[in-house]
Structure 1
Amino acid sequence: MKSISYVILLALILSSCAIVRQGEVGVKRKMGKLKEEALSPGPVVYNPLITRIIKVPTRTVNVEINSNLPSKEGLNVGSVISILYKIDPSYAPSVVENIGMNYEDVLITSVFRSAAADVCSRFFAKDMHTAQRAVIEQEISNQMRGILKNRGFEIEAVLLKTIQLPAGLARAVEEKLEAEQDAQRMEFLLQREKLEAQRKLVEAQGIRDAQKVITEGLNDQILKWQSIKAFKELSKSPNTKIIMTNGSTPFLIEPNK
């Protein structure tokens, strides 16, 4: 009998103890009434006959939603959106009491669909596929925060993961992007040719100026000096040679006038 009593006692002890893990808080409901303070992670002792411990996750949750977003021109744009949110631990009892544990369906997705429809209807469909995408995400996040912050929910980010434009519009966007890339490529080529032309012009001007300086610097005295240097270099050569000269230069013979 003692062993049976010990087993029953152990079962009662185990059933009257709950563990609140990291990333969640506990909400104690005693005889149908919720305690106002959330229970921190750790062991919690309670009377299982009249009390229940409700565990509320407070870590970041990622919920994906498939939705057709309306655009400014009246098109429906298929999309897959991720909403990153978490619950403020101090609001956990209020969430359980006023919304319930199915708060994701009751509140989060409903607020998102309303905010997304309102924001996206102010943008063209192509904007969801370009740099305006980040602006749309930020505006949806801000609108959701304004509604959900006082309800205990923190919206960390709204991410437009996949955007499916209508076939005709998608092709038009691609053609526009290709045209812009071609224009940028042509601009680059024109700029490169312009720079090359400028380089050649500077090079030609440099050669012209150098030749002008050399021409202006030549006179009879310099020519004689260069001729003497040439004779001197020729005299050092061991090879047999015949030098035709008029006495002034070994290479240039001035014809009789």
Structure 2
Amino acid sequence: MERLPKVAIPAIIAVIVLIIILAKSAVTVDSGKAGVLYKTFGGGVVTDEPALGEGFHVIAPWNKVYIYEVRQQEIFEKMSALSSNGLDIKLDASIWFQPEYENLGKLHQEKSEMYVERILLPAVRSAARSVVGRYTPEQLYSSKRDAIQAEIFEETKNYVDDQYIQLNDILVRDVTLPPTIKDAIERKLKQEQESLEYEFRLVTASKEAEKVIIEAQGKADANRILSASLTDKILQDKGIEATVKLSESSNSKVIVIGSGESGLPIILGNQ
């Protein structure tokens, strides 16, 4: 077996080293992500330049790149807080967020890759405890769900606005009360609903009765006015007019003038 020339060994070593250097220097940033460059001999984390965007990048082999997800992300959080009367309330929430792209270097330098656990989640928990403590269990269970969601979002946003985190929304998916309190609230709500339905029926019946009274009063007034206007003279004139019309009919008849009560004619005859 022939021995390799002496010059071949250093060449092979040089090729191996070159491959290692190229491997260390090549960085690919995937879709929806960005890279923070760390210069080992150049001041550490780069904060005054844009983060490395998607695609292929070549860096010095002694430097490092830390990859961050920069798309909107969602985390689910279960939290406990005390209501205004000291009862334990459990919340299930979804948190929508993403790091501020233009401040990614500062986020890495000051908060690290653990920014969600160190900054965001403690802020959400603190805001939830503060907001829930303003309301009773009944308010949290029924009418104030949207209100507490908005307030938790606003308070959390105030906490993280200067922490290089973009908070997009917080959704309260469920509010869990102690079983005995939940049952009591549901019974009370049912009773209130039944009371409202009863009051509605009473109001409806009252309006119907009022309508009947008004209609009856109208008819009575009309009859009274009509009776007051029908004098004996008017009735006699009406009778004479009717007699004249009957006398003009072709049917056989006998008309006795002045024989009826009040001097009205009496009509005798058959068809």
- TM exceeding 0.5: yes
What root-mean-square deviation, in Å, do the aligned CA atoms of Structure 1 and Structure 2 show? 3.4
Q: 2:119 aligns with which of 79, 103, 107?
A: 107
2:62 to 45, 50, 60: 50
Q: Tell me whether 1:151 sits opposite 2:163 in the alignment.
A: yes
Equivalent residue letter for 1:89: Y
Match of 1:164 in 2: 176
Q: Is it true that 1:64 corresponds to 2:80 in the alignment?
A: no
Identity percentage over the alignment? 24
Identify if the C-alpha distance between structure 1 residues 58 and 19 changes in structure 2 by more than 3 Å, giving closer, same or farther: closer
- In structure 2, the residue matched to 1:254 is none
**In 2, Cα distance between the equivalents of 1:27 and 1:242?**
124
For structure 1, the 5+ residue unaligned runs are 252-257
Alignment of 1:30 with 2:39, yes or no, is: yes
CA contact (8 A) 1:25 1:38 kept: no
Match of 2:6 in 1: none
Q: What amino acid does structure 1 have at the position aligned with 2:28?
A: A
User: CA offsets, 1:162-191, max 9 Å, x none?
Assistant: 112111101110111112112211221121
Q: Secondary structure at the match of 1:151?
A: coil
The answer to whether residue 222 in structure 2 is matched with residue 213 in structure 1 is no
* CA distance, structure 1, for counterparts of residue 74 and residue 117 of structure 2: 13
Contact in 1 for aligned 2:34/2:54 (Cα 8 Å): no
Unaligned 5+ runs, structure 2: 1-14
Determine the C-alpha separation between the residues in 2 that align with 1:40 and 1:135: 40
Provide the residue aligned with 2:192 in structure 1. Answer: 180
Could you say what secondary structure the match of 1:28 adopts?
Answer: strand
The answer on 1:248 being equivalent to 2:264 is yes
Deviations 1:223-257 (A, max 9, x none): 24433554466578888889998272679xxxxxx
CA shift at 1:59, angstroms? Answer: 2.9
State which of 86, 91, 98 in structure 1 corresponds to 2:110.
98
SS in 1 for 2:51: coil
Q: Match for residue 136 of structure 2?
A: 124
Q: Deviations over 1:189-244 (max 9, x none)?
A: 12112211221221122111111121122123432443355446657888888999
1:18 maps onto 2:34 in alignment:
no
| SS of aligned partner of 2:162 | helix
Q: Give the Cα–Cα distance (whole angstroms) in 2 for the partners of residues 19 and 46 of structure 1.
A: 11
Is 1:88 aligned with 2:97?
A: no
1:106-146: CA deviation from partner (whole Å, max 9, x where unpaired): 22112222222233233322222122233322332222222
Q: What is the TM-score with the length of structure 1 in the denominator?
A: 0.78
For 1:204 and 1:160, the matched residues in 2 are separated by 58
1:188-199 residue pairs with structure 2 within 5 A?
188-199=200-211
1:77 is aligned with what amino acid? I
Please tell me the residue identity of whatever aligns with 1:16. Answer: A
Q: Which string of whole-angstrom CA distances, capped at 9 and with x for unpartnered residues, describes residues 65-105 of structure 1?
A: 11222223322223211222222212211111222223222
Aligned 8 A contact 2:38 2:65 in 1? yes
Q: Which structure is larger by alpha-carbon Rg, 1 or 2?
A: 2
